[in-house]
Structure 1
Amino acid sequence: MEEVSDVNEEINNVDVGDLDTGDDKNEEVGPKSKKRGRKEASRSEYWTHFVKFTCEIDKVQKGKGVEKCLLDWKIDKIFTITVDNASSNDGAITYLQKKFDNWGSNILGGRYLHMRCIAHIVNLIVQDGLKGKYEHSAISRIRGAVRYIRNSSARYKRFGECVELEKIETKKLLSLDVPTRWNSTYLMLESAVCLKRAFDSYADIDLAYVNDLSKPPYDGIPTNYDWERAELLLKFLGHFYKLTLSIFGSLYVTVNTIFHEISAVDMLLKEWLNGDDFELRDMSRKMKNKFDKYWGSIEKMNMLLYYAVILDPRHKLEFLEFSFDAIYDDITDAMLMKEKVKNGMQELFYDYKMRYGTPGSPAPSSLGSNLFSKSNQSDNPMSSRMYLKDEFRKYKLGGKKERVKTEIEKYLSEDPKDYDKNFDILQWWKINSPRFPVLSKMARDILAVPVSTVASEAAFSTGGRVLDAFRSSLSPRIVQALVCAQYWLRLDSKPICVEEDLVEIEVLEKVCHACHYTHSAIVIPTDVVEEEGRG
C-alpha cells in the first residue's frame, strides 16, 4: 500500500490526503499488464504531478517531499496542512514548521499549521464503540442475512416479492457494507431495519435460509434482540453519520460548523454515559475515551475551529461562550476556555494586522482589556509615547479620552445576523471587507481551511479509475479533461440544459471533431466554461 500526499493550496491552506488503495487498486496503476503478450504501455506523465511515499518512509523524508512540491509549485504561504493521525505525519508537520519559519511565512510560528482530519477521528471513535460483543453479534447476523439474499438474483427477486407482500412502503434497497467502513455499515442497517418484516416473511418461503445461515461463516439468522440492537445502533450512529456528511463537502465552508457538531457529540456521549442501558453505557465509555484523546482539551484541538465560529456573523463570541458554559460542568474550566480563545483570537488578529494592516489604523487591543496597559507601555517606550500623543489628539478634538475600537471589537459589538441555513458566509465577508479590511483577510484564510482529507482522497480515487493498468499512457491534459468533465456533469447546482446551451455544445463538437483528426488533447475554450468551474 502506498500513501499519496497531495499538496493543494486553497487560500493558504494545504490538504494532504492518504489513499485507501485497497478498493481502487491504485497501487497497480502502471505498465505492468502481461495478458496475452499485451505490449506494455508507457507510464503516463500524469503521475509525475504527485509524490508517492511508502508507509515505511521516514517522517523527515515525508516532510522533505512536501517541501519539494511546494518549492516546485512556487507556493510559499501555507496556513494549515490537513493530515490524518499517522505518527509520521506529526513528524513531517514539525519539520515543515521549521522550514516555513525560515521562509518567513509562518503565521505565529506555525501554531495553527497542523489540522487533523476530522473524518479520520470520527472513524476511530465509532470503530471503538462498535467493538462491543453484543453490537458485533447483531451486526454480523444482519450482515450475513443481507449477503445471503444479495448473493443470488433469484433470492433477491423473491425478497422483493416479500416486500410487496408485507406492504412495506420504502425506496430503500438492501446494500452490502464494508466491515472496516462504519458509515457503510450504518447504511446497511438503515435499509435492513426498514425491511425487517420482509426478512421474517422470506424465512417462511426459503427453507435453506435458516439452514445455510446456521453454518460457518455465518452466525445464524437475526433474532428479535438483534433487530432491537440494530435500531439502537441506528439512533446512536445517526449523529456521527450526519457529522461525516457535513464535513465531506469541498464546495462550501465546513470549518465553521465543526465546533457545533463536536459539541453535540460530546453532550450526547455524556447523556448516554448516564443512561440506564448498560450496553449503551459501555459503548459510550469506549467512544468517550477516544473522543477525549483527540478533543478532550483545548490543547489537543486546532484553535481555528473556535475562531471560525466567532467569524460566523450568525454566532460570534456570544454563542461560543454560551456553549462553553453548557459543555463544561466546572465553571472554572469554562472561564479558562473563554480566556484562551479570546487571547488567541486577538493574537492572531494582531499578527494579521502587522502583515496586512495600514499605517495609522487603530492599534489592536485585548477583547477583555486595553492592550496598552502599564506593563505594555513600560516594555515598549516608543508605543507609550505614541499612545500619549494619540490620546492627547483625541482629547483636543473631542474632549474625551476614548480609545478607538479595533476591527475585531467593532465586529463583535454588532448584533449577530439572524440564522439562515442558506446564509453565504463568504459573500458576507466579501461585502463587508471595506469595513473590516484586516479581519476579512483573516476570515478568508480561516474559513478556507479544509477539515477533512476526504475530498482529496476521492480525487485520487477518481484518477485511479480513469488511469488504470490497461489505460496508462494518457497525457496529463486528457486525464484532466476526463476527470473534470465527469465532475462537472455530476454537479447538482449546475444542471445541463441542452436547449439553452446549443451554441456552447456546437463549439464543443467542433473542438472534439478537430481533435479526432489531429490526435491532440481536448482543450475546452475559456469562453465556454467559466474559469471558476474548473474545480
Structure 2
Amino acid sequence: MGLAEDCIQRAQCIGCKKIFKSGDKTHGTSTLRRYMKSCQLLKIHFHDIGQMIFDVDGKIRSKKLDIELAREVFASAIVEHDCPFAFAEYSGFRKYHKLLNPDASVLSRNTMVSDINKLYVKEKYKLRQVMTSIPNRICLTSDLCTSCTTEGYLCLIGHFVDEKWKLKSKILAFEKMPPPHTGFELTQKIYEILKDWGIEKKVFSLTLDNASNNDSMQDKLKDQLTMHDSLLCEGEFFHIRCSTHILNLIVQEGLKVANQSMHKIRESVKYVKSTESRMQNFKSVWLKLLALIPQLAYVWKIERLLKAGLSDEDTLMSGMCKKMLEKFDKYWSEYSVVLAFGDILDPRFKLKVLEKLYAKIETDPTKCKEKIELLKTKLHKLYDQYASVIGSSSSQLRSSNVTHSKVESQKVVTTLGKKMDILDVTDEVVTPVEISELDRYPILSRMARDLLAIPITIVASESAFSIGARVLTKYRSSLLPEKMQTLICTRNWLHGFEPDCDDVDKVEQVNEGDEGDGADEGDEVDE
C-alpha cells in the first residue's frame, strides 16, 4: 500500500482488508505469514493458501485459473475445430481436465452448448456495433445450398471496409430455408436478417448467381428497400451478377459443342494415368505448353478472345466460340458500370485505362465515346447522391460541398483520369495514402469504401457452405439448424474463412442452383 504518514510501509489483507505494518526491521513478514494461515475470509476466497504465489512484482495472488475465461477459450476451440458438443464428456478429455485441476467442476454437453451460445451472442453484439457505427455501407452476397440432410440453407454475407480501411467479410446468417424458394420468400427472409442486424438502411449492393428466383428476389428486395429510401440512386447499382457463375455458363456452353472431343480427352487421361512412365512423359510435354494458355483475367479480354476465335480455321473451335459469345452477350453485352467505378478509383487503373479497354472492344469510336460519357454521367450521379447524404447527416460538412457537388465530381473524374499507359499498369508504383489524409475528401473516401467492397463473385458463400459441410455431416446429422448457424457464424467471426486442410476432402455439399427442381431454382432460365 506504500508509505503511511509515519513513513512505515503498510500491507493489506486481500481477504478481510485488515491493514498491517510491514517493510522494515521492526515489522517484518512473519506476522503477515502467520495471519495468512488464520484469516478465514482469505481461505474462503482462495480455498487453499498453498494455491497462492508471488508474482513478478512481489504481490500475492492466486494461481488458480479464471474458470469463465477457460470455458470461453474451450468453447472457441470446439467451434474452430468442428468438434462435437459431447467432446467435453469424452473420458480421455475428463482425465486430462482432472489432472490439470482436480477441484474444477466437470463440464457437460449442455454446459458446452450454453457456453457456445454465450460466445455467439457476445461476438454478434461486437460485430453489430462495428457495422452500425461505420459511416459506409454494407455489400452483400447470398446463395442457397442443400445439406446432407436434404435441408435447404440460406447464407447471407456482409462485406465492408472498416475504420482502418481493412476489407471484412462476415457471415450474417446461415439459416434454414424451407421451401418454396420463390423470390417473395427469399425477399422476406433476407429483409428480416437485415433488420435483425440493424443495417436495412446501410445496404449498397447484393451479389447473386443467375438463378431466376434470385432475379425475382432482388427486384422485390430492391423495391422494398427503395420504398424506405434505403438505397442510393433508387437502387440503380444494387444488383451484381456473379462473374464466376457467368464464366462457368459460358464454358459449359462451349463444351456442349465439343462433347466428342471431351470424350477423347477423358480417354486420353485414362491412358496417360494407367502407368507411371506415361505420366512422366506427359508432364514433361505439359510444362512446355503451360506458357501458351491465355490467362482470362479481364472480361474484356475474354470477349476479345471469343471474337478472335470466330474466324478460327478449325470449325470445332469457331463453333465453340460462337456458342460461348452468345452466352457472353446475354450477360455481359454491357459491362457493369458499378464495377467500372471500382477500376476508376483504383490508382493502378483510373479512367484512362478504361478508355483504352473500351477502345479495344468497340470498333466504332462514336459508340466508344458514348459509353465513356455514360460512365462519367453515372459517376457524377452517384457522387452527387453521396454528397447530399453526407451533407444532410453531418453538421461538420459545409453546405458548399452539396451546392457545388457537380463541380467537385468533375474534378474527381479529371483527377482519376490522369494519363497512364496500359502497358505500364503493373509497373506503376502507388504511394500509400495516410488514413488521416482521407478526411480531406469525406465524400470520395466514403464512396471508395463502398465501391471497393463490392464482391464480384459469391465465392464467400461457397466457402461458408464448405464449412457447413464439415459441421453437418452424416455422423452429425441430428444437429439443429439453430445450432448449425451458431457454430458456423461464430467460427467465421473468430477465425474468418480459414479452411481446415484435414477436412477439405470431406466436403460434400450440393448447390441448389446446380440441380434445381423447378424454374424458380434453376441455374439459368433462357427466355
Taking structure 1 as the reference length, what is the TM-score of the superposition?
0.55
Shift of 1:69: 1.3
2:286 is the counterpart of 1:194: yes
Shift of 1:194: 2.8
1:195 is displaced (CA, Å) by: 9.5
Cα distance in 1 for partners of 2:457, 2:310 equals 28
Q: Tell me: CA distance 1:52–1:60, structure 2 relative to 1, closer, same or farther (3 Å).
A: same
The amino acid that maps onto 1:291 is F
Q: CA deviation at 1:348?
A: 0.2
Q: Secondary structure at the match of 1:433?
A: helix
Partner of 2:198: 74
Alpha-carbon offset, residue 489 of structure 1: 7.0
Tell me, in whole angstroms, the C-alpha distance in 2 between the residues paired with 1:364 and 1:292. Answer: 40
The question of 1:12 aligning with 2:138 is answered yes
Structure 1 residue 311: Cα displacement: 0.9
Correspondence 1:489-508 to 2 at 5 A: none
Q: Which residue of 2 aligns with 1:277?
A: 314
Secondary structure of 1:62 counterpart: helix
Counting only pairs closer than 5 Å after superposition, residues 304-343 of structure 1 correspond to structure 2 as 304-343=338-377
The answer to whether the 8 Å contact 1:346/1:365 transfers is no
- Ranges in structure 2 where 5+ consecutive residues have no aligned partner: 1-127, 154-170, 392-396, 502-527
Q: For residues 281 and 458 of structure 1, what CA distance do their matches in structure 2 show?
A: 36
The counterpart of 2:186, out of the listed 62, 65, 74, is 62
Deviation at 1:122, TM superposition (A): 0.5
- Aligned residues of 2:464 and 2:497 also touching (Cα < 8 A): no
Assess if the C-alpha contact under 8 Å between 1:325 and 1:334 holds in 2: yes
Q: What amino acid sits opposite 1:359 in the alignment?
A: R
Conserved in 2, the CA contact under 8 Å of 1:309 and 1:315?
A: yes
> 1:330-479 alignment to 2 at 5 Å?
330-357=364-391, 358-362=397-401, 408-409=412-413, 411-412=415-416, 419-420=425-426, 428=433, 430=435, 432-471=437-476, 472-473=478-479, 475=483
Give the distance between the partners of 2:491 and 2:449, measured in 1 at CA. Answer: 31
**Equivalence for 2:119:** none
More strand by share: 2
Cα distance 1:318–1:364, how it changes in 2: closer, same or farther (>3 A)? farther
CA contact (8 A) 1:430 1:440 kept: no
- Cα distance change of structure 1 residues 49 and 273 upon mapping to structure 2, 3 Å threshold: closer
Correspondent of 1:127 among 245, 249, 252: 252
After superposition, the CA RMSD in angstroms is 3.8
How far apart, CA to CA, are the structure 2 residues paired with 1:305 and 1:360?
Answer: 30
Following the alignment from structure 2 to structure 1, what is the Cα–Cα distance between the partners of residues 360 and 315? 25
Please identify, of 450-459 and 460-469, the stretch whose mean Cα deviation from structure 2 is larger: 460-469
Contact 1:81 1:115 in 2 (8 A): yes
Q: CA, structure 1 residues 404+29, in 2 after alignment: closer, same or farther (shift >3 Å)?
A: closer
**1:91 alignment partner in structure 2:** 216
Deviations 1:138-177 (A, max 9, x none): 2213323435776xxxx5xxx114445x4x665xxxxxxx
- Partner-residue secondary structure (3-state), 2:203: coil
Instruction: Determine the C-alpha separation between the residues in 1 that align with 2:180 and 2:264.
Output: 37
Report the residue type matching 1:361 in the other structure.
Answer: S
Contact 1:117 1:453 in 2 (8 A): yes
The AA in structure 2 aligned to 1:110 is G
**Do structure 1's residue 160 and structure 2's residue 276 form an aligned pair?**
yes
The counterpart of 2:269, out of the listed 146, 149, 153, is 146
SS at match of 2:206: strand
Partner of 2:165: none
Residue in 1 aligned with 2:260? 137
Deviations 1:53-93 (A, max 9, x none): 46753211211111111112222211101111111111111
Structure 2 vs 1, CA of residues 324 and 336 (structure 1 numbering), >3 Å: closer, same or farther?
same
Distance 2:266 2:434 in 1: 48
Alpha-carbon deviation of 1:310? 1.1
**Is the 1:364–1:406 contact (alpha carbons within 8 Å) kept by the matching residues of 2?**
no
Tell me, in whole angstroms, the C-alpha distance in 2 between the residues paired with 1:122 and 1:99: 30
Q: How many aligned positions are there?
A: 338
Structure 1: runs of 5+ lacking an equivalent: 1-7, 31-46, 171-192, 197-230, 247-260, 372-402, 492-535
Asked if 1 retains the 8 angstrom alpha-carbon contact of 2:207 and 2:240, the reply is yes
1:288 maps to which of 325, 328, 340:
325
How many Å separate the matches in 2 of 1:436 and 1:119?
34
Contact 1:82–1:114, Cα closer than 8 Å, also in 2: yes
Aligned partners of 1:304, 1:84: CA distance in 2, in Å?
A: 17
Q: 1:457 to 1:421 in 2, by over 3 A?
A: farther
Bigger Rg over Cα: 2
Tell me by how many angstroms 1:114 deviates. 0.6
Corresponding residue SS for 1:361: helix
Deviates more, 1:273-282 or 1:404-413: 404-413
Tell which deviates more after alignment, 431-440 or 456-465.
Answer: 431-440
Picking from 91, 113, 122, the partner of 2:238 is 113
Query: Is the CA contact (8 Å cut-off) linking 1:29 and 1:469 kept in structure 2?
Result: no
Residue of structure 1 equivalent to 2:70 = none
How far apart, in 2, do the equivalents of 1:169 and 1:469 lie?
38
Amino acid at match of 2:364: D
- Determine the C-alpha separation between the residues in 1 that align with 2:413 and 2:183: 42
Q: Quick one: distance in 1 between partners of 2:429 and 2:467?
A: 31
Percent of paired sites with the same residue? 30
Residue 308 of structure 1 contacts residue 443 of structure 1 at CA under 8 Å; is this kept in 2? yes
Counterpart contact for 1:350–1:364, Cα < 8 Å: no
Tell me the amino acid that sits aligned with residue 448 of structure 2.
A
User: Match of 1:412, as an amino acid?
Assistant: L
Give the TM-score, by structure 2 length.
0.56
Q: Distance in 2 between matches of 1:88 and 1:302?
A: 21
> For the structure 1 residues 275 and 54, does the alpha-carbon distance in structure 2 shift closer, same or farther, using more than 3 Å as the test?
farther
Question: Is the contact between residue 273 and residue 281 of structure 1 (CA under 8 Å) also seen in structure 2?
Answer: yes
Cα drift, residue 282 of structure 1: 1.2
CA distance in 2, matches of 1:86, 1:468: 27
The answer to whether the 8 A contact 2:242-2:458 is kept is yes
Q: Distance in 2 between matches of 1:364 and 1:264?
A: 41
Please state whether the residue corresponding to 1:50 is helix, strand or coil.
Answer: strand
- Render the CA deviation track for 1:320-361: whole Å, top value 9, x for unaligned: 122222211112211210111010000000000111142243
Q: How does 1:115-264 map to 2 (within 5 A)?
A: 115-132=240-257, 135-147=258-270, 155=274, 159-164=275-280, 166=281, 194=286, 238-239=293-294, 242-243=295-296, 261-264=298-301
Aligned in 2, Cα 1:194/1:410: closer, same or farther, shift over 3 Å?
closer
Q: Is the 8 A contact 2:352 2:419 kept in 1?
A: no
**CA offsets, 1:375-425, max 9 Å, x none?**
xxxxxxxxxxxxxxxxxxxxxxxxxxxx77865156336555974479789
| Whole-Å separation in 2 of the counterparts to 1:362 and 1:48 | 35
Offset at residue 285 of structure 1 (A): 0.8
Paired with 1:354 and 1:287, the residues of 2 have a C-alpha distance of: 43
CA distance in 2, matches of 1:451, 1:306: 11
SS at structure 2 position matched to 1:455: helix
Report deviation, 1:235.
Answer: 9.2
Residue 18 of structure 1 and its aligned partner are, at CA, apart by: 3.4
* Residue type at the aligned position of 1:453: I
